[in-house]
Amino acid sequence: MKIRLSAIALMIACTASAAAAQDFLQPRVTMSSVQWPTAAYDVGDGPTDEIFAMLNADTNTRFAGIERSTVPVLLPMDVAAFRKDKADLNADAAASNKYFGEFSPSKFFHAGPAGYDATFWINPREYGIKSTWPKPVEVEIGGAAFVYDLQDPNHQEVFPPPKESGLAEKFPGIRRILRENHVRYAFERFGVPYVVSIQCYDRRPSAKIVACREADELAIRFLKRLTVAGGTPTGNLPEPKLDLARPEHKSDFTYYGPGNLIPNSGWRKNPGREDYTVYARLRFPFAQAPAYIKSQAFLHWGDCYRTGIVGRKGRKDASYHCKVNDKPLVFNEAHPENWSYPWRDNFCEWRDFLVGQCPGGYGHQAQDMRPSNCVLSNEGADRCLPYQHAIAAAADGPIWRSPGYLAAFLFLNTANERVRVSYLHMNPTLMDNDGLVSGRAVSAGEILGKVSNWGDHEHGTSYHLHFSMQVFTRSGWVWVNPYMTLVASYERLTEGRGTEIKPGDPEPVIPDKKPVILNPAPVPAVAATPDSDRPKPAAKPARHKPKKKKVRRRSKRADAD
């Protein structure tokens, strides 16, 4: 059997890379070369800087901070009609949505050194658009000063746009992409990559989902309305670079390398994603250390995520294991292995979620994270009480979240980062009450809420935080493994450098870490008793003495006995 030299070289390179891949890696990006004069020509006549300064002054009243974008901002807006009404002091310019056709601006718009993001709503039935989905649909658009270049695998399906749409003529090279439950229309204009995206499912239409074939018409209508609405011309931007310095002081923090999953816990037993890239300089998402990145599906009390269980759950400390491996488990969420080092990656763990960066194309999309300890209500409880630990904002930035939604997204838009992270399994009602919705800006370290166990309802999952990360690529926002980004942020929080457990190293000993018992069983008290009720001392054993002659008077010794 012949093996090509290129294949041998690739294997050698991969082996060498794996051997040297213990250090943090910088993200790989491609910078945009913005053609500002061409964009200005679409707006009006005159010097480019002046055209955009006047445009920003007008549109800023509807899209605050639009001047911070380093790329031309495209929005589905009749800019000419809006500017005329504003010049004529027409009250519609302040709040009317008539300038956006079928679309309504949401409360989320964010621009910065890395580009911009915006979302709009459309109710298909209100405009006679055939749709089985009964609610409004959210449409995203973003333009980027740079995009992240991700190495394979990159599972996605790419098609040309529908011929009848006419999009190919307006946006040469536009692509229709199905990836990670979104239909995306990606194109380049003015030297800038833009992506319009709608969450959908590539299935038959249903009242329970937005089908991608239905989302197509909405995206096409949105694209046809796009015009230049703002942005500020800048010179060539420097390539992003993160400070990846690590603490010199060693700590007790240990972790398995990225991609090293619990054996056979990947999608259909596929391996994990070995990615040492640090994508952003985050503040660790828990308010305090210690914390533990641990699987909540394939460790103690976990449900093995539809892979099958051997044994029976339901009774505290009952023994069982997942069918995909022989790792012994017990039905007790407070088991010390759940709440101790080392950390273990679970980004590509077995789930039914599409993840382009996982070898099998499916995975978890995120890292399950546990706080410092488990608090039980009493000794007989088998699961942790919610709301015992605080969750912190990982960076300065705006929140993107509709009221009632299960996840909250936080955007990072800096000269070095174009990243968004999400928090899942917090209580949505409490998030609503705390104002954790679109339009709110937070600061790094600000408390966002408490760790919970919210699935579709309280107690619907284990006590943990599901923390995910996406970066902006030529295909739009894509899930990436946040594991090493979290390692770096944890080392900064604890001011200590961790130690990676490498293949062949001995398995660490699980510590005997006890949970916190909120209501311990009371110790029975010894009640005071009257002297007459006190137990009398046991009789002393009789001594063997020589017999004496009987006398009528009993001795004192006999009376005492």
Phi/psi of residue 343, nearest 5 degrees = -70, 160
Residue 3, Cβ neighbours under 10 Å: how many? 8
Nearest to 115 by CA among 75, 72, 77: 72
The whole-angstrom separation of Cα 32 and Cα 20 is 31
Averaged pLDDT for residues 82-103: 97
The pLDDT score that the predictor gives to residue 483 is 98
Contacts of 353 (CB under 8 A, 6+ apart): 180, 181, 362, 363, 364, 365
Query: pLDDT tens across 115-160, in order?
Result: 999 999 999 989 988 889 999 999 999 999 999 999 999 999 999 9
The pLDDT score that the predictor gives to residue 536 is 54
The pLDDT score that the predictor gives to residue 20 is 40
CA 39 to chain centre: 35
User: Is residue 529 over pLDDT 60?
Assistant: no
Contact predicate 234/35, CB 8 Å: no
Using DSSP, state whether 28 is helix, strand or coil.
coil
Assigned superfamily of 250-298+340-505: Glucose Permease (Domain IIA) (2.70.70.10)
Contacts of 310 (CB under 8 A, 6+ apart): 320, 321, 322, 323
Averaged pLDDT for residues 327-331: 98
* Secondary structure (H, E, C), 143-199: EECEEECCCCCCCCEEECCCHHHCHHHHCCCCEEEEECCEEEEEEEECCEEEEEEEE
The pLDDT score that the predictor gives to residue 521 is 87
* Residue 124 tokens, joined: 């298909």
Phi-psi region for residue 387, left (φ > 0), alpha (ψ -120 to 50) or beta?
left
pLDDT band with cut points at 50, 70 and 90 for residue 554: very low
Using DSSP, state whether 37 is helix, strand or coil.
helix
Contact predicate 499/253, CB 8 Å: yes
The pLDDT score that the predictor gives to residue 530 is 57
The pLDDT score that the predictor gives to residue 279 is 98
Using DSSP, state whether 272 is helix, strand or coil.
coil
CA 226 to chain centre: 31
What does the domain layout of the chain look like in residue ranges? Answer: 29-230, 250-298+340-505
Between 544 and 343, the more confident residue is: 343
Phi/psi of residue 360, nearest 5 degrees = -90, -5
Query: pLDDT tens across 426-467, in order?
Result: 999 999 999 999 999 999 999 999 999 999 899 999 999 999
User: Is residue 164 over pLDDT 70?
Assistant: yes
Question: CA 470, 471, 474, 477: dihedral to nearest 10 degrees?
Answer: 30
pLDDT band with cut points at 50, 70 and 90 for residue 14: very low
Mode of pairing for the β-strands spanning 227-230 and 73-75: antiparallel
The pLDDT score that the predictor gives to residue 237 is 86
User: Is residue 8 over pLDDT 80?
Assistant: no
Averaged pLDDT for residues 532-544: 50
Averaged pLDDT for residues 230-235: 94
The whole-angstrom separation of Cα 189 and Cα 166 is 16
Contacts of 499 (CB under 8 A, 6+ apart): 250, 253, 254, 255
Averaged confidence pLDDT in the chain = 91
The pLDDT score that the predictor gives to residue 31 is 97
Query: pLDDT tens across 44-77, in order?
Result: 999 999 999 999 999 999 999 999 999 999 999 9
Query: pLDDT tens across 354-403, in order?
Result: 999 999 999 999 999 999 999 999 999 999 999 999 999 999 999 999 99
The pLDDT score that the predictor gives to residue 294 is 98
Contacts of 483 (CB under 8 A, 6+ apart): 258, 275, 293, 345, 347, 367
Contacts of 520 (CB under 8 A, 6+ apart): 378, 379
Global pTM value: 0.89
The pLDDT score that the predictor gives to residue 55 is 98
Between 207 and 2, the more confident residue is: 207
The pLDDT score that the predictor gives to residue 527 is 61
Mode of pairing for the β-strands spanning 175-179 and 366-370: unpaired
The pLDDT score that the predictor gives to residue 531 is 54
